[in-house]
Amino acid sequence: MTHCSDDELLLEYYGEESGSTTHRSVCAECTARYRALKQMLDDVTLEPPERDDRYGLEVWQAIRHRLPARESRWHAMLTPRWGLAAAAALLLAVGFTAGRLWPRVDPTAPPSMALSTPNAVAVSATADDEARRRVVLLTINDHFDRSDGVLAEVMNAGSPRDLSAEQQRAADLVAASRLYRRNAVVINEPAMAAVLEEVERVLLDIVHQPPQATAADLDAIRRRIDAAGLLFKVRVMTNELQHRLEQPSSAPPTSTSTIG
Amino acid sequence: MALTVFSPPSSKQAMGLGDVAAVLAKASGGDGEAFALLVNSHARTAFRLAYRLTGNERDAEDVVQESFIRAYRQLSRFEARSNFATWLHRIVVNCAMDSLRGRQVRRERLADPVEDMPDVAASDCPSPERLAMSDEIRRRVDASMAELTPQERVAFALRHYEGRSIDEIGRTLGVQTSAAKHAVFRAVKKIRVALEPLRSTP
């Protein structure tokens, strides 16, 4: 009787085509060898460390400046190629108008008040443009962060469920978002304005759901969030803003890299 | 179907929409936003694969990044009817092979028998009181894996950890099925030799 080779037993172990099974049914020796092989290979395991749901963002941040010249729409817009003079001219023009139309920040108000009250943010092209710009970026960063919270809640909500708490938060965010969006345009951040608008539309969707959302309602919103990659965009924006706010000047850098 | 944005197993599931093809078309046209979504959808899967191929986090991270950069450069060559996950899988394998070859070259240059791997000789007679058997198995497997050629290592990892068929492995590595099969055979023999002393340990 010809016994199985080690290679045949190995193929059987991996479920590949092998003639060993038939032989083993009548051969105790080969069956014992197969069991030993199986025991050995069953012990060979390798479980990769977990990466959390922000890993995609980390990879993207690490590679995006190493990609060849083809430009991203909203990321390219994060680092506008307009000259500083053009940007300053725009700020001056729009800021002048905005400064006349919008209420100014109360200089005595604490920073947290300025952050939490959308109407407190006024944009003008005066000597403290940079400080105002940072305030706008801070408020938008905070807004993205809170929007992330609501969107993530909806994405992870068990269905069906009571959405009234998320709807209240979404309604507050929508109310603030319109001003933030205008401010983003004023400070020449069209990409940010575009993402704010996308977020706003989804937040409005959430607001307009019946409080007792059905599985289908939730599914429709999730699909919309998912289809737009909205959470990812919000997180990229938050990441980018945090990086910029950590810099001495919040002016869009010519090259930004937050990770790697 | 779960609609979590960051769940990666397949591009359709990860993107949660039926228009993966549209996203791919945009990315191929140089739309960085679309490519960012692809990165986001596939990064975790790519990392798991890269880790299993390279055996350590640092190399796996590098392989993931290099793979996406390579994918971006080659997107124009991606055929719309193909599966992006399958295409990316192959790129990750190739990048891992390059990484392992680089590691092998460095080892040979430094005449260092096992780079970044535990010293097996020091633990030839493990004390059951001091070492759990599984830890010792892991150490020995790591050490023997480090002695495999890049092709043996990748073929074994794809077969053993990833459950890929020998045929698929051959196609992925661009070699004949018999070559892929023998790469797995050689890998298992080396691992078996490394683990044999543990089998005879009472």
Question: What distance in Å separates residue B23's CA from the closest CA in chain A?
Answer: 10
Positions of E strands within chain A:
161-162, 212-213
Alpha helix (H) ranges present in B111-176?
A: 133-146, 150-156, 166-173
B81 pLDDT higher than 90? no
Q: Residues A3, A29: contact at Cβ < 8 Å?
A: yes
Q: In the structure encoding, which two tokens stand for residue B10, read together?
A: 């397949």
Angle (CA) A255 A251 A148, round 5°: 85
How confident is the model over B12-35, as a mean pLDDT?
67
pLDDT value at position A159? 63
* Chain A interface, best mutation among B1, B6, B158, B193, by max A CB count within 10 A: B6
Q: What is the mean pLDDT of residues B165-172?
A: 95
Question: With 70 as the cut, is the pLDDT of residue B179 above it?
Answer: yes
What was the pLDDT predicted at A126?
A: 57
Q: How far apart are CA A201 and CA A205, in angstroms?
A: 6
Mean pLDDT, residues B172-187 taken together: 95
ipTM: 0.79
**CA dist list (Å): B71 to A7, A19, B36, B66:** 36, 41, 12, 8
Looking up tokens 């599914």 gives A219
State the Cα–Cα distance between residues B29 and B164, nearest whole angstrom: 32
Which residues of chain A make contact with B72, given a CB cutoff of 8 A? 63, 67-68, 70
Which site among A8, A41, A55 would you substitute to test the B interface, given the most B Cβ atoms closer than 10 Å to its Cβ? A55
The whole-number average pLDDT for the span B26-50 is 87
Q: Please list, in sequence order, all residues whose beta carbon lies within 8 angstroms of the beta carbon of residue A168, skipping any fewer than 6 positions away.
A: none
**Contacts (Cβ under 8 Å, ≥6 apart) of A74:** A191, A194, A195, A233, B33
> Residue A19: what pLDDT?
79
Query: For residue B78, what is the DSSP state?
Result: -
Interface contact B36-A236, CB threshold 8 A? yes
> Regarding beta strands A212-213 and A161-162, do their DSSP bridges make them parallel or antiparallel, or are they unpaired?
antiparallel
- Residue in A48, A55, A155 closest to B5 by CB: A155
Please measure the distance between the N-terminal and C-terminal CA atoms of chain B and give it in whole angstroms: 49
Q: Which residue has the higher pLDDT, A99 or B23?
A: B23
**Cα dist. A217→A154, A222, A232, B36, B63 in Å?**
11, 9, 22, 28, 40
pLDDT score for B132: 65
pLDDT digits (tens, 9 = 90+) for A168-209: 889 889 888 888 888 888 888 888 888 899 999 999 888 888
The listed range with the strongest mean pLDDT (A76-80, A205-209, B138-142, B174-178) is B174-178
The reported pLDDT for the residue numbered A86 is: 41
Q: Which of A73-77, B23-27, B44-48 has the lowest mean pLDDT?
A: A73-77
- Say yes or no for a CB contact (<8 Å) between B161 and A46: yes
Distance CA B69, CA B176 (A): 28
One digit per residue, the tens of pLDDT, for chain A of length 260 reads 689 999 999 999 999 988 788 888 888 999 999 999 999 999 899 999 999 888 998 899 889 888 876 544 555 444 444 344 344 444 444 444 444 444 444 444 433 333 444 444 444 455 567 777 888 888 898 899 889 888 888 888 776 777 788 888 898 898 888 888 888 888 888 888 888 999 999 998 888 888 777 888 888 888 888 877 788 888 888 888 887 888 776 455 443 333 22
pLDDT band at B178 (very low <50, low <70, confident <90, very high): very high
CB spacing of B159 vs A227 below 8 angstroms: no
Across the A:B interface, residue pairs with CB atoms under 8 Å apart total 143
| Per-residue confidence (pLDDT) for residue B201, from 0 to 100 | 54
pLDDT, averaged across chain B: 80
pLDDT digits (tens, 9 = 90+) for B112-129: 555 444 444 444 555 555
Ranges A11-20, A187-196, B162-171, B190-199, most confident: B162-171
Four-CA torsion A125, A122, A99, A87, nearest 10 degrees: 30
Closest residue to B37, CB basis, from A67, A68, A232:
A232
Which residue, B141, B135, B120, is CA-closest to B188? B141
Q: What angle (nearest 5°) sits at the alpha carbon of residue B33, between those of residues B32 and B38? A: 90
